Amino acid sequence: MSTQRSYDAAALWEILTETVHALAMYKHHKRYVEKVLLPEKPRISAKEMGLVMGMPLGEAIVILEELRPSSKGAPEEESKAKAAPGKSLLDYGTK
């Protein structure tokens, strides 16, 4: 018998960010997105960014969430631990 553990959105966001931060290219991708990609295309979706840069969608979601000014000026440490209010991971694949 398998017992399934259910996770709430905050726990899933924490798992995703922890996993993304462990990726070898994460820091390089984040810096490139911050310095090059976002200034050229500020409204890029996570899905498009993942395709353009050849990175997983989860990494693109985390990077955009950390860099976009819509995080209400919260310190980076606080935004790592929780998803933005009113957003679902599915919201990042549209546009």
36 found inside a domain:
yes
Domain range for residue 41?
28-67
Structural domains counted in the chain: 1
55 found inside a domain:
yes
22 found inside a domain:
no
pTM: 0.70
Give pLDDT, residue 76.
Answer: 46
Which two three-digit tokens encode residue 16?
Answer: 């995703």
**Whole-number Cα distances in Å, 21 to 24, 27, 63, 80, 87:** 8, 8, 10, 10, 20
Contacts of 12 (CB under 8 A, 6+ apart): 83, 89
87 found inside a domain:
no
Give pLDDT, residue 77.
Answer: 45
